[in-house]
Amino acid sequence: MSGPTRRRPPRPKAPSGQRSDHARGGEAGRTGGDADGADRRPARLRTKRAPGGSKGVRQSLPQRLSGPRAQAPADAAVRLQKVLAEAGLGSRRTLEGWIADGRVRVNGQLAKLGDRVLPTDRISVDGEALKRRPPRKARVRVLAYHKPEGEVVTRRDPEGRPTIFRRLPGIRDGRWITVGRLDLNTAGLLLVTNDGELANRLMHPSRQVEREYAVRIHGDIPDGALEQLVQGVQLDDGPARFEEIVESGGSGANRWFHVLLVEGRNREVRRLWEAVGCEVSRLKRVRFGNIILGARPLPGQWRELTDEELDELLAIAGLPAQRGVTRRPGPRPSKSTRQRN
């Protein structure tokens, strides 16, 4: 292997509103994981190209965060899955599956993908009428949950395994929606929100939201494997690659790397390493967009994002900041949650 770092030439366009984790110093840059590499972050500063992609043109973080943001459409008729998501039933992607499966009806007729509805339309899900609330400025909430290994990201598990939802606080309106998933043996940062629109935008591949993982590789790494991983390999569901790989510690049979993705396909990190003949022995997500796992919360605990973190996350998703909406500071884990931990 010729060196610890392999990079691919920059993409022609960088997503608007994202912030490099290396710009956030101090304790926020630590993962709270193993001391031999999972929590050792590279000291190198990475800058982003400005939207438009001209080579050599750099743009500072405040400029990017203050740019124009997408506004919601003003049409009276809106897509059915958007209405369902705003009612707190799940992410748009999940709800599109419900529509395709015939679980949703509009005015007594079976709904189909692409349907738009008016405020006067009657919607039912699994035979139960949907109570449509009048539009209001609801407070968007996002939790940063530290998922331990051995928990599943589902509400009910037929095998009786522990789920992340038993750890989360109660919510008055709607329900918690996860921003993507982590598999059973993957630990780390998982964002949870009460806003289906936000969850859908953050998960959509077009947003190219950065996801950073700490990976421990067991055994030898074939020559040229790192270069291949950033240039791209063919997986069962299409080509894939890491945006960046940085060696971050370890020795002998176990070596740690930090890798960067801008999409969230199923088990993508593990499958990429396996495609070049490497064995992943530990995997932990340490960053999603602008949110860094840090030393807190501990495994099995959560914290609510601060106003600053939430506004930056909304900018990444192309949504306006919550102006004029009363929000309370991010709370510490509730007493009942701490006791369950």
- Written as one letter, the residue type at 121 is D
pLDDT of residue 69: 30
> How does 194-216 read in b/e, with b if 16+ C-beta sit within 10 Å?
bbbbbbbbbbbeebbbbbbbbbb
Reported confidence tier of residue 103, pLDDT bands at 50, 70, 90: very high
Structural domains present in the chain: 1-43+138-341 (3.30.2350.10), 78-129 (3.10.290.10)
Max mean pLDDT among 53-67, 120-134, 269-283 falls in: 269-283
| pLDDT tens-digit readout, 141-159 | 999 999 999 999 998 899 9
Task: Classify the C-alpha dihedral 127-168-195-113 as positive or negative.
Answer: negative
**Whole-angstrom Cα distance, residue 268 to residue 261?**
9
Residues 185, 213 contacting (CB under 8 angstroms):
no
pLDDT of residue 61: 27
- pTM value > 0.75: no
> How does 127-147 read in b/e, with b if 16+ C-beta sit within 10 Å?
eeebebeeeeeeebbbbbbbb
Does residue 14 carry a pLDDT above 80?
Answer: no
Single out the catalytic residue among 39, 101, 183, 237.
183
* Residue 24: other Cβ atoms inside 10 A: 15
Does 183 qualify as catalytic in the annotation? yes
Residues 200, 97 contacting (CB under 8 angstroms):
no
